[in-house]
Structure 1
Amino acid sequence: MNSRSHPAGTDPADTRGRDPRRLRADDLRYLLAVARTGRLVAAADALGVDHTTVSRRITALERGLGVRLMERGTEGWALTDAGKAVSEGARAIEDALDQVVDAVSGQDAPSLRGTVRVSAPDGFGTVFATPALARVRRRHPGLQAELITATRQLTLHPAGFDLALAIGRPPRSRLVTEHLTDYALGLYAADEYLARHGSPRTPAELRDHALVFYIESMLQVGDLDIERHLPGVTPAFSSTNVFAQVEATRVGAGIGVLPAFLAERAGLRRLLAEEVDIRLPIVLAVRREAVTRPAVRAVRDALHREVAERADELLPTT
């Protein structure tokens, strides 16, 4: 196997001299770190070593077991089927060590440790995932929470996260998915813009106004395709970042097609509320090998609690 398909450029299937009794349990930490991040360099940073050490330790583990544990894909390094089975056992060992630490520290309730990496859209990730993660961290100070924000489709070959939030209906994949919540988008404008250009009375009149939305050619979520919701309307100001869209709308660049939970925070005025009321789902997805992790379950529960308590922001009645 060449260096493009294996971290250290060696073939772990060569089992000469293999002796599972000589396996180093500490090598399992390196496997878990790459599985969680999908990148050798990111795993090395998390472990406090250089990436060549990570590669070497995983290769040693593969040689000891006589199976390939990781393979490289378009989204980074991912576990093979054998790697998933091994990682489950590794997490059990990691959890057992945490319980030992809790037992000797005199804590009444087990405190979660390790790292949970969450991927989420910019807006939803900032406004809803962030407080949910903070809530988990308050209860479990030993847990490291990482949030990656990007508005993109769930991939068929997931890597680089434990739990993902995405807009729209998920494709068939290796992920375990569930519906988290729906959220509303509508037309919003600043008073300054309306004073200069007037307010559209029908959706057809939007063609006479500047629209603020995503860059169509760079849009990675089919459910956000503007043609599905407002046929024949082309944005005049576009951005891949929803916060830039909110700011452009706030300073009068045009009428924004914005999530209600962001637009109403910015004090923008809702337009054509009955005619344009877009509802989209947020899907929660977990990599199969991470489903049983206590820390991932804790984050999942916190996200469900966050959206349940703030449902009026996601789906306002007015």
Structure 2
Amino acid sequence: MHSRSTSGEEEPVPRSQPGRDGIDPRRLRADDLRYLLAVARTGRLVTAADALGVDHTTVSRRIAALEKSLGVRLMERSTEGWTLTDAGKAVSENARAIEDALARVADSVSGHEAPSLHGTVRVSAPDGFGTVIATPALARVRLRHPGLHAELITATRQLTLHPSGFDLALAIGRPTGSRLVTEHLTDYTLGLYASDGYLARCGFPETTADLRKHALIFYIESMLQVGDLDIERHLPGVTPAFSSTNVFAQLEATCLGTGIGVLPAFLAHRTQLRRLLADEVDIRLPITLAMRREAVTSAAVQAVRNALRQEVTDRSAELLQS
């Protein structure tokens, strides 16, 4: 039987718990492993079903069948979706090897001179960094490996991510836990920027204290999920007059002369905005790259990781300009 979650999705439930020593590999269906990998990548039955081109009840049924054959629970539901159990992580890691082997079989009869990567790699990143930096890296990997499906989710949030719903994550700040395999990717700078129209109308701030007389543009403080972006930490006593959870909205408002924006240099340099108080306000923040432990061995994930590292190396001057 399947139990039903509050979202209406059927939950895979193992029907029995036979001894692990008695598992016969011939009872396992390799195709069921694709369903497990899809849910592990997305964290959602419905999303996984869309990626596989089936109904979510089929995904639930196939995972339940796999759990029954193995006699262990492979996934459990959390507030952020479906996550792998310890047994599920072990199975998933080995399942990737089978998935890669099938892809190589397909390549062997397709006439490809070199093996192409297959499968799906889901990346989570802040909206600005994800669009301007991660997208070119993902595009380059896709051009080299047409069989690879790249997915980019943009959200500016702290790296306290539950290890589900992505293969690789980019986040502002440094890691606070050990559930993920993390490494420092790069730093980037933020500064104060304004349009010529705003400065002609409201004048130039001469000191940081003068900013209290100006309209500042930044994130919505009450909805901010990244401690490193706390405006009080960088500009004490200054309160934004225009706020948005989206950095591109902040950029647009700054270009329209709404106020002075606290913006990433790699975004602002693409516009006609003028940098203000560069010596006094030069904020540098780290970007951390994180991978789910069971995704580290994936050749596709490693290809994306390497492409991201190459991208930030090639554009370090742009990311760290002052």
TM-score (norm: length of structure 1): 0.96
User: Residue 145 of structure 1: SS of its match in structure 2?
Assistant: strand
Maintained 8 Å contact 1:71/1:79: yes
Shift, 1:19, TM fit: 5.3
Q: Compare 12-21 and 97-106 and name the one that shifted more.
A: 12-21
Gaps of 5+ in 1: none
Shift, 1:2, TM fit: 5.1
The letter for the 2-side match of 1:108 is E
Q: Compare 234-243 and 3-12 and name the one that shifted more.
A: 3-12
Q: Compare 27-36 and 100-109 and name the one that shifted more.
A: 100-109
CA distance in 2, matches of 1:86, 1:11: 15
Maintained 8 Å contact 2:216/2:242: yes
CA distance in 2, matches of 1:2, 1:29: 22
Matches within 5 A, 1:1-318: 3-4=4-5, 7-8=10-11, 10-15=13-18, 20-316=25-321, 318=322
Q: Deviations over 1:79-107 (max 9, x none)?
A: 10000100111111111111111112232
Q: Deviations over 1:1-22 (max 9, x none)?
A: 9544994363444439975532
CA distance in 2, matches of 1:43, 1:298: 22
CA distance in 1, matches of 2:4, 2:39: 16
Maintained 8 Å contact 2:12/2:60: no
CA distance in 1, matches of 2:290, 2:24: 38
Gaps of 5+ in 2: none
User: Residue 127 of structure 1: SS of its match in structure 2?
Assistant: helix
Maintained 8 Å contact 2:124/2:152: yes
TM-score (norm: length of structure 2): 0.95
User: Residue 183 of structure 1: SS of its match in structure 2?
Assistant: strand
CA distance in 1, matches of 2:235, 2:176: 24
Maintained 8 Å contact 1:75/1:158: no
CA distance in 2, matches of 1:137, 1:220: 31
Q: Deviations over 1:198-221 (max 9, x none)?
A: 000000010000000000000010
CA distance in 2, matches of 1:11, 1:140: 37
Q: Aligned residues: percent identity?
A: 78
Q: Compare 32-41 and 5-14 and name the one that shifted more.
A: 5-14
Q: Deviations over 1:98-155 (max 9, x none)?
A: 1111112232211001110000000000000000000000100110100000001123
Q: Deviations over 1:44-98 (max 9, x none)?
A: 0000000000000000000000000001112110110000100111111111111
Maintained 8 Å contact 1:187/1:258: yes
The letter for the 2-side match of 1:256 is G
CA distance in 1, matches of 2:259, 2:113: 55
Maintained 8 Å contact 1:7/1:55: yes
User: Residue 124 of structure 2: SS of its match in structure 1?
Assistant: strand
Shift, 1:160, TM fit: 0.6
Maintained 8 Å contact 2:12/2:63: no
Shift, 1:263, TM fit: 0.9
Maintained 8 Å contact 2:14/2:65: no
1:88/1:102 Cα in 2 relative to 1: closer, same or farther (>3 Å)?
Answer: same
